[in-house]
């Protein structure tokens, strides 16, 4: 008999499509596994009139799925890693990271808009990380908060509520809307969120997940470890404009990070590099160095 695995996902179009990408990878790795998709609406998806820091942070996108895992209603949960809390949950570990998609942020204009002085008008972004770096790039930019899933945000843009949006490239690409992208920001212009572009698989600690071995991409997992270690060391949540991006080449990991000290409203950007197997320590060391630079 085939082994049946129930896979949990948020119920947004993007979340479901991303989960289906992981499910297809599992099917390719082990055709003997039968998969069932179960979608759940999370608190973070339902409360759209407040910024995340006002309603409880990133955990609101995973709480319902975490509970479903603990209750045994699902066996796996698939998340965008950047939406997961940085704290390590020993009961519900991250057991696989699929090969990373595009980590960059992008600028999106309304349908039919003619490129022009887009940065001088109302740009929608609820991410403090993006807001800080956009203001560095374009000091006179006017930013407004925007919440909702990717389709909701695009509708608000096209309805004239915003002149432009800044979104994650990977999300638009995965739902087939890459033609909406007007400009890609390099990872030096806007350092991505830790885990951006990465799909993570979470499970109960007692589940046999050997079938995920071919789904997991070790290079992506090490990059994620360094980025999340950096943010975790700085105790950065959704209200703090902390950013981290790691690249691995020939077993060498290069990590770039941004630390913002809220007390003084100063920020520091730095880099470090070293053997990829030291990913967690490299993230921690860079975080402590930037913190010391700002007197933290």
Residue 110 has phi, psi (to 5 degrees) of: -60, 155
CA dist., res. 146 & res. 205, Å (int) = 36
What DSSP element (H or E) covers 144?
A: strand 142-144
Active site residue 83: yes
Of 83, 102, 105, 217, catalytic: 83
Residues 6 or more apart whose CB falls under 8 angstroms from that of 3 comprise: 32, 33, 34, 211
- For residue 7, give the nearest of 219, 175, 210, 200 by alpha carbon: 200
Contact between 269 and 293 under an 8 Å Cβ cutoff? The reply is no
Token digits for 21?
């990408």
Token digits for 217?
């991409």
Question: Between β-strands 33-40 and 3-10, what pairing exists: parallel, antiparallel or unpaired?
Answer: parallel
Hey, which residues are catalytic here? Answer: 83
């Amino acid at each position: 008999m085939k082994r049946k695995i129930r896979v949990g996902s948020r119920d947004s179009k993007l979340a479901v499509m991303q989960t289906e990408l992981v499910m297809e990878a599992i099917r390719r790795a082990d055709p003997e596994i039968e998969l069932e998709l179960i979608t759940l609406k999370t608190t973070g998806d339902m409360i759209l009139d407040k910024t995340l820091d006002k309603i409880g942070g990133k955990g609101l996108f995973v709480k319902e799925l975490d509970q479903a895992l603990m209750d045994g209603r699902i066996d796996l949960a698939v998340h965008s890693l950047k939406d997961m809390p940085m704290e390590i949950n020993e009961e519900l570990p991250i057991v696989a990271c699929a090969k990373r998609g595009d980590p960059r942020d992008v600028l999106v204009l309304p349908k039919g808009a003619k490129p022009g002085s887009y940065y001088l008008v109302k740009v929608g972004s609820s991410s403090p990380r993006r807001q800080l770096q956009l203001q560095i790039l374009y000091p006179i930019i006017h930013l407004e908060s925007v919440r909702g899933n990717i389709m909701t945000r695009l509708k608000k843009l096209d309805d004239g509520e915003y002149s432009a949006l800044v979104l994650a490239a990977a999300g638009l690409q995965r739902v087939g809307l890459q033609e909406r992208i007007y400009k890609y920001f390099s990872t030096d212009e806007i350092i991505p969120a830790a885990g951006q572009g990465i799909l993570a698989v979470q499970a109960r600690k007692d589940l046999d997940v050997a079938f995920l071995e071919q789904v997991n991409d070790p290079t992506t997992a090490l990059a994620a470890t360094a980025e999340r270690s950096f943010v975790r060391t700085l105790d950065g949540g959704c209200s703090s404009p902390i950013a981290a991006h790691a690249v691995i080449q020939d077993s060498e990991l290069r990590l770039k990070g941004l630390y913002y000290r809220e007390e003084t409203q100063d920020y520091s950007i730095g880099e470090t590099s070293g053997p990829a197997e030291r990913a967690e320590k490299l993230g921690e060391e860079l975080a402590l160095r930037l913190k010391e630079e700002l007197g933290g």
